[in-house]
Amino acid sequence: MNHSGRLPSRMPVKQYCRELAEYSVCEKVITMVSRLSILLFMSVLLGTAAFAQPLQSKVSPDEMKAAQAIMAAPDPAKKLKAGEDFIKKYPKSSIRPRVARGLVDQISAVTDAAQKVTLAQEFQQAFNEPSEQDAIVSVLLEGLSQAKRADEVFTTGTAYLSKNPDALLVLIQLLATGAEEAKNKNTKFATPSLQYGKHVVELIDAGKKPAEIDDAAWTKYKTETMPSIYQSLGLLNLVSGDRAQAVANYSKAAALAPNDVFNVLMLGQLLNADYQDQAKRFQGLPNGAAKDEELKKTQVLLDKVIDAYARAVAVSEGDTRYSQVRAQFLQDLESYYKYRHNGSNSGMQELINKYKPAPKP
């Protein structure tokens, strides 16, 4: 291996950041967290077919007729109006929970953000049972976030958390909104979002499964959501200037979703930043034993970068969204690899191949 004092230096880390940020896939950091969490949780907690199930037989004919009017209404707004009429007439109805569940599901599916917010707020006014309020709050927060009303997301979410500090979906929505704002260069919510995200991880790691979810659904939820949680935390760490924690969180995201291109690219970029800083420290030392020791540390970091870059090149192959960034990674990988292997790239392709995803059956 090469042990010379001159270390390779490639593209500035900030340039990598800018290039990666241009890709729409960065939005997955946010949208996977909010949409996956709400859709999966709603399907488990509320039942997406709440209106499709046969109504209970222990209701009066008039109750049945009023409930059928909700199902027959042509759109979510009219269904909500019919639902409000229903609970005014039958506030103690045994099928009120079914009615509420169905309406929340309808509102959640609304694609227009402004309408979703309006309907969610109307629901809050009419359906005041604690379980009904719990069901709609995440939908309201999602709508506010989609409408780019971040201040209201945090005002509403924080107020809810003051009474329900372990409300998982609310915590996740605030994390998602904070990450989205940070991506758009608004770091106003970065600090509270990080705290909310850390609490999400604490709750999930502690196995604090909501009582309404069975073990299988909970396992699926964690598997599909946790990579994005760590991804969002890593982004917030990065804009907050905490590179070490960003590395830790992107490492966890990459471990949980090893073929997620964005995760491995960001991890490689961050490890390269550590190497660049270490290389500068090494170059600034006078010759001697201390510099020799510093060289060993620098080369250890460089080996980590080489491994991370090989993985990034492997998993991004064929993905046109990353073609330019991948080309730069490959160029830098070859430079780093040759430095550590006496000017030879023999074995580099084998290293890349080790990380290529298994072909789909």
The more confident residue out of 10 and 98 is: 98
Compute the Cα dihedral for 97, 102, 105, 106 and give only its sign: negative
* Average confidence score pLDDT of the chain: 85
The more confident residue out of 169 and 76 is: 76
User: Rg of the chain's alpha carbons, rounded to an integer?
Assistant: 26
For the stretch 189-217, pLDDT in tens is: 999 999 999 999 999 999 888 776 788 88
pLDDT at 75 over 60: yes
Using left for φ > 0, alpha for ψ between -120 and 50, and beta otherwise, residue 178 falls in alpha
Q: Which domains does the chain have, with CATH numbers?
A: 27-221 (1.25.40)
pLDDT at 31 over 50: no
CA atoms within 13 A on the CB side of 217: 16
CA distance 229 to 257: 12
DSSP conformation letters of 149-164 = -HHHHHHHHHHHHHH-
**Residues contacting residue 39 through CB under 8 Å, at least 6 positions apart:** 108
Using a pLDDT cut of 70, give the percent of the chain over it: 83
**pLDDT value at residue 54:** 54
Tell me the three state secondary structure of residue 58.
coil
Question: Which band of pLDDT confidence, cut at 50, 70 and 90, is reported for residue 254?
Answer: very high
pLDDT at 320 over 70: yes
Q: Which of 6-15, 78-87, 247-256, 322-331 has the lowest mean pLDDT?
A: 6-15
pLDDT at 245 over 90: yes
CA distance 185 to 250: 20
**Residues contacting residue 184 through CB under 8 Å, at least 6 positions apart:** none
Q: How far is CA 357 from CA 97, 268, 331, in A?
A: 46, 17, 21
CA atoms within 13 A on the CB side of 83: 32
Using left for φ > 0, alpha for ψ between -120 and 50, and beta otherwise, residue 343 falls in left
CA distance 177 to 327: 32
pLDDT at 117 over 60: yes
**pLDDT value at residue 19:** 46
pLDDT at 124 over 50: yes
CA distance 284 to 281: 5
**pLDDT value at residue 57:** 52
DSSP conformation letters of 233-299 = HHHHHHHTT-HHHHHHHHHHHHHHSTT-HHHHHHHHHHHHHHHHHHHHHHHTSPSSHHHHHHHHHHH
The more confident residue out of 28 and 64 is: 64
Question: Which band of pLDDT confidence, cut at 50, 70 and 90, is reported for residue 9?
Answer: low
For the stretch 137-146, pLDDT in tens is: 999 999 999 9
